[in-house]
Structure 1
Amino acid sequence: MLETILEPGVAVTRAAALVGGRWITEGERSERVGPFVRRPVSRAPVAGPSEIAAVRAYARDAAPDVARLSPAARAEILERASAAAAGNRDALARLLALELGKPVKDGRGEIDRVADTFAVCAAEARRIGGETLPVAGWARGVGNTAFTYRAPVGVTLAITPFNAPANLLAHKLGASFAAGNTTIVKAPPQAPAASAAIVALLVEAGMPYEAVQLLHGGGEVGAALCAAEEVGVISFTGAAETGDAVARSAGAKRLVLELGGNAATIVCEDADVAEAARVCARTGYTNSGQSCISVQRVYVHRSRFAEFLEHFTSAAAALTVGDPSDPGTDVGSMVDEHAAERVVRWSAEAAEAGARVVLGGTRDGATAAPTIVAEPPPDAAVVTREVFGALVAVLAYDEMPEVIGRLNAGRFGLQAGLFTRDLDRVITAWRDLEVGGLVVNGSSNFRLDHVPFGGVKDSGFGRESPRWMIEDYTVVKTLLLRGTSLWGDRA
């Protein structure tokens, strides 16, 4: 199936669903129009009630078999998948460029991360264990022994977003399988073929069909799966409003929600301003800003504001905008024209309120020009809401407590960046900023896949990274041995 999906020269890629151990393409189908090429590039079957029912029944019956697969066997499969991802790097990157308009250089980076993520999942599968509990430390425990181990939940649901469909699926599905679960994957409608390719890659690496199923469709498919009683854990990445709907549909299920962001980076007066500007320009427009930790706001100390803005504008203007399949392209298209229009509209609204649009503010179809909005008012949409696009707002600040307060006033709290040489500022910001992570001498847009990642407030809860996800994908089971003690039984 992977070879079929990645077959070169095919005008429209067939993105099959995987239901009950069988790849299917028949039934009602939806087409994905590539945002840059502006023609259909992939086609996927839309799940209906019968497919959803079949997936639920198969997952319920398959869960015990998957749980009996040893951690060593799971790890070996994930290691083979890691090698296969690396071997298919260029073809998968081209597919991302077609379906999403993501520059092929960014797509290659995402597939490199897929390979890393599978390797990390394999390592974590080998580490799953438990504890011998110190029950004899309290009088009532004397004469007894207790142990724990981490057991698979059974059935998990992975709902993935369009902006990084390969690597975020690798996190969710890889960690779930490492933990010994069977997983139902609900793919984003914007990336059906890329999602099918990652699932096919795992299956061809040896993942049992019992361990994974894949459905395509819109929000109604996701809602039906969230409500399924067979599902024990839901891992969702997407908009905060959709996350609320997931929680309502799920009911009393364990949730891992990685939701929206409005990430800010602080540039202090002691920073290397030219380097900070270069990093913010590179990471503010990667994937056209379509990342929950993309640099959306940069707060620069007033004494360095003009200097930073000059360097930043120059670096952003030097980015190559164009065909995402060209290895030299830095900024491709956004996911669709509606998203690109949001960049244009919000920058124009900020200008009407007194801001300066220093660069960009235009689009060609779904391709938004890298846009810089200088000194927008504090209530502008580019400051208060998640633009999720190729736009960065640059603002001045005077004192550190002031800028920390401005960041904390927002509804999101995923990740922030800080450029400074002052260790006291680092510790203060780490302590006082209401975010899940702080990147020092880097922008907000940096992530290591083996490090915990997640937010606070409306940015969600739970942490995405294989080690921490495995904790969410497993349950602690306790064994108590009455009358038998490892510790001695004299009171």
Structure 2
Amino acid sequence: MDADKARVDLIRSPYDGSIVGEMPIADESAVEAAIVTAQRGFETMRRLPRFVRADILQRASEILRARRDEAVRVISAEAGKPLFDARGEVSRAVFNLSNAAAEARRIAGEEVPLDMDAGIFEYQTTGADGTRIDLSNVDAEQLQAGSRRIGIARRFPIGPILAIAPFNFPLNLVLHKVAPALAVGNSVVLKPAPQTPLTSLLLAEILREAGLPDGALGVVHCPVPLAEKMVKDERFKMVTFTGSAKVGWHIKEIAGRKRVALELGGNAAVLVFEDADLELAATRCVRGGVVYGGQYCIGVQRILVERSVHDDFSALLLAKVGACRVGNPGEEGIDVGPVIDENSAIRIQSWVDAAKSSGASVLAGGKRDRAVVEPTVLSNTRPGMLIEDEEIFGPVLTVNPFDNFAEAISRANATRYGLQGGMFTNDLRRAFRALEDWDVGGLMVNDVPIYRIDNMPFGGWKESGLGREGTRYAMHEMSEIKHLVINYN
């Protein structure tokens, strides 16, 4: 019995601790087998015509659509995600797969012009004795004949990819790694988050049903030391990781010569100017800050409001936070369920308590019940507090006034993270100035940082990561260029 227990993890609901499934634990031999299988799978995938890869991804999209309710239940159960948000994640995943199918058909190289430089032409037509050609005396036909070279840059898959995924979007953020890798012709070994591996198993089953070749995708649920061993393994040509900054930069340090793509933490700010639609701004800030327990790397955390409208905005914000329904994520109509585990909830509350003891005011919430943290709003926070400086990854908002544009941008930028930001204004001059001065990978105007369509380029500045996700952009990260030059004179 003990030996059997050692081979599986019991996956539990973060809301009530009930068992939602079992996941086999990979030992060292299973990890080795997965890598060898992925090497074989790559040899198959790299030779598949693009229409075959595209058809597999499109069929997978259709199968997922048909199994939508099943996927929603699994996500809600193991991630503690409210049903509304789980349905949204599955809808995005359906699109993500179909978009990857389209990009698999579209991805192409380009002609590289080789007749741009007269100096190169002269050099290539200079005789062995040093005799140079006077281009002014060369007719058009001779010039054309001397320039008959064509360059073609084509993209090729790079090899087996190790994908390490987070718990908060156990289907769609997994697909941001798996779908472009398959679309471009790579194989993947996927290490899902330890809390949410069942969704990855379901995805692998759907892709097999869609016709994905053996070895193209393996799911490995293993302890951290074995995951680190995979990161170091030179048989992988790339590691793509989404998670905390601490873990991500450690992965980069140990990954060796392989490519690394990191989608890491955030500490997103929203700026609300006096000309903003305050009702829209408050509604979207609540949506972006506390739903699903605030567990978004691009979730709203810091709200900075022009002083003249600060009180009006705060009243709207507090009313909307108070209207959020908190409870069992498996029930319809719930806005805020648990965070991923009780230890995370304890940490979040400790940050709130620390801010309060340092002078912050708790305007709403501030308490927890097991892993469920109340939607919380703080004011009078300042740099130097954990709640301001670090990523809380919980349903906690800070709201503070500013007096002018320069102050707002300076405070929004006062973080080591730079993933996405949001601002509410009807003055496009402000928007373009903010784009120049605010160091974030994405800036949403009249919306909040959680806005993301899955074909967008997505990634951050500073300690928020390296590289870009979004199907086409990830496919470029996961492929390499070979350049062919033909002299056809």
Per the normalisation by structure 1, the TM-score is: 0.91
Tell me the alpha carbon deviations over residues 413-449 of structure 1, each in whole angstroms, 9 at most, x when there is no partner: 0000000000110101111100000000001111010
Instruction: Give the structure 1 partner of residue 249 of structure 2.
Output: 244
Instruction: Give the structure 2 partner of residue 130 of structure 1.
Output: 109
Instruction: Give the structure 2 partner of residue 103 of structure 1.
Output: 82
Aligned-partner Cα distance in 1 for 2:355–2:116? 63
Aligned-partner Cα distance in 2 for 1:194–1:376? 38
Aligned-partner Cα distance in 1 for 2:411–2:247? 26
Cα 1:383–1:178 shift into 2, 3 Å: same
* Contact kept in structure 2, 1:66 and 1:210, CA below 8 Å: no
* Contact kept in structure 2, 1:353 and 1:377, CA below 8 Å: no
* Contact kept in structure 2, 1:417 and 1:440, CA below 8 Å: yes
Matched to 1:317, the amino acid is G
Q: How far does residue 183 in structure 1 lie from its aligned partner after superposition?
A: 0.7
1:40 aligns with 2:19: yes
Matched residue of 2:73: which SS? helix
Of 275, 282, 285, 2:287 maps to 282
Instruction: Give the structure 2 partner of residue 19 of structure 1.
Output: none
> How do residues 264-279 of structure 1 correspond to structure 2 at under 5 angstroms?
264-279=269-284
* Contact kept in structure 1, 2:101 and 2:183, CA below 8 Å: yes
Q: How far does residue 242 in structure 1 lie from its aligned partner after superposition?
A: 0.4
Instruction: Give the structure 1 partner of residue 345 of structure 2.
Output: 340
Q: How far does residue 143 in structure 1 lie from its aligned partner after superposition?
A: 4.1
Of 297, 306, 314, 2:302 maps to 297
Instruction: Give the structure 2 partner of residue 226 of structure 1.
Output: 231
* Contact kept in structure 1, 2:41 and 2:213, CA below 8 Å: no
Aligned-partner Cα distance in 1 for 2:361–2:104? 52
1:93 aligns with 2:72: yes
Instruction: Give the structure 2 partner of residue 217 of structure 1.
Output: 222
Tell me the alpha carbon deviations over residues 112-165 of structure 1, each in whole angstroms, 9 at most, x when there is no partner: 000010011011000121122211323148343321210011111111000001
* Contact kept in structure 1, 2:44 and 2:213, CA below 8 Å: no
Aligned-partner Cα distance in 2 for 1:406–1:182? 43
Tell me the alpha carbon deviations over residues 351-406 of structure 1, each in whole angstroms, 9 at most, x when there is no partner: 11111111111111101110111121222111100000011111111111111111
Of 172, 184, 190, 1:185 maps to 190
Matched to 2:41, the amino acid is A
Matched to 1:36, the amino acid is Y
Matched residue of 2:110: which SS? strand
Matched residue of 1:446: which SS? coil
Q: How far does residue 96 in structure 1 lie from its aligned partner after superposition?
A: 1.3
* Contact kept in structure 2, 1:343 and 1:361, CA below 8 Å: no
Tell me the alpha carbon deviations over residues 72-119 of structure 1, each in whole angstroms, 9 at most, x when there is no partner: 011111111111111112221111111111101100000000001001
- Work out the percentage of aligned pairs sharing the same amino acid: 38
- The runs of 5 or more residues in structure 1 that have no matched partner are 1-24, 486-491
> How do residues 68-217 of structure 1 correspond to structure 2 at under 5 angstroms?
68-138=47-117, 139=121, 140=124, 142-217=147-222
1:461 aligns with 2:440: no
Of 262-271 and 52-61, the range deviating more from structure 2: 52-61
Instruction: Give the structure 2 partner of residue 447 of structure 1.
Output: 452
Aligned-partner Cα distance in 1 for 2:280–2:44? 53
Tell me the alpha carbon deviations over residues 3-26 of structure 1, each in whole angstroms, 9 at most, x when there is no partner: xxxxxxxxxxxxxxxxxxxxxx99
Q: How far does residue 344 in structure 1 lie from its aligned partner after superposition?
A: 1.3
Matched residue of 1:296: which SS? strand
Aligned-partner Cα distance in 2 for 1:418–1:218? 41
Instruction: Give the structure 2 partner of residue 9 of structure 1.
Output: none
Tell me the alpha carbon deviations over residues 425-483 of structure 1, each in whole angstroms, 9 at most, x when there is no partner: 010111110000000000111101011111000000111100000001111011122x4
Aligned-partner Cα distance in 2 for 1:399–1:155? 50
* Contact kept in structure 1, 2:282 and 2:316, CA below 8 Å: yes
Matched to 2:91, the amino acid is D
Matched to 2:79, the amino acid is L
- The runs of 5 or more residues in structure 2 that have no matched partner are 125-145
* Contact kept in structure 2, 1:30 and 1:45, CA below 8 Å: yes
Of 376, 382, 398, 1:377 maps to 382
Instruction: Give the structure 2 partner of residue 479 of structure 1.
Output: 484
Matched to 1:316, the amino acid is V
Aligned-partner Cα distance in 1 for 2:449–2:52? 37
Tell me the alpha carbon deviations over residues 290-313 of structure 1, each in whole angstroms, 9 at most, x when there is no partner: 010000110001111111111000
Matched to 1:443, the amino acid is V
* Contact kept in structure 1, 2:14 and 2:80, CA below 8 Å: yes
Instruction: Give the structure 1 partner of residue 32 of structure 2.
Output: 53
Aligned-partner Cα distance in 1 for 2:378–2:187? 46
Tell me the alpha carbon deviations over residues 40-90 of structure 1, each in whole angstroms, 9 at most, x when there is no partner: 222212111111111122222331211111110111111111111111122
* Contact kept in structure 2, 1:240 and 1:259, CA below 8 Å: yes
* Contact kept in structure 1, 2:167 and 2:195, CA below 8 Å: yes
Aligned-partner Cα distance in 2 for 1:103–1:85? 19
C-alpha RMSD over aligned residues: 1.4
Matched to 1:106, the amino acid is D
Tell me the alpha carbon deviations over residues 286-334 of structure 1, each in whole angstroms, 9 at most, x when there is no partner: 2110010000110001111111111000001101001101121111111
Matched residue of 2:171: which SS? helix
Q: How far does residue 27 in structure 1 lie from its aligned partner after superposition?
A: 6.7
Of 384, 387, 397, 1:392 maps to 397
Aligned-partner Cα distance in 2 for 1:409–1:107? 33
Instruction: Give the structure 2 partner of residue 412 of structure 1.
Output: 417
* Contact kept in structure 2, 1:233 and 1:472, CA below 8 Å: no
* Contact kept in structure 1, 2:270 and 2:421, CA below 8 Å: yes
Matched residue of 1:418: which SS? strand
Per the normalisation by structure 2, the TM-score is: 0.92
Cα 1:293–1:227 shift into 2, 3 Å: same
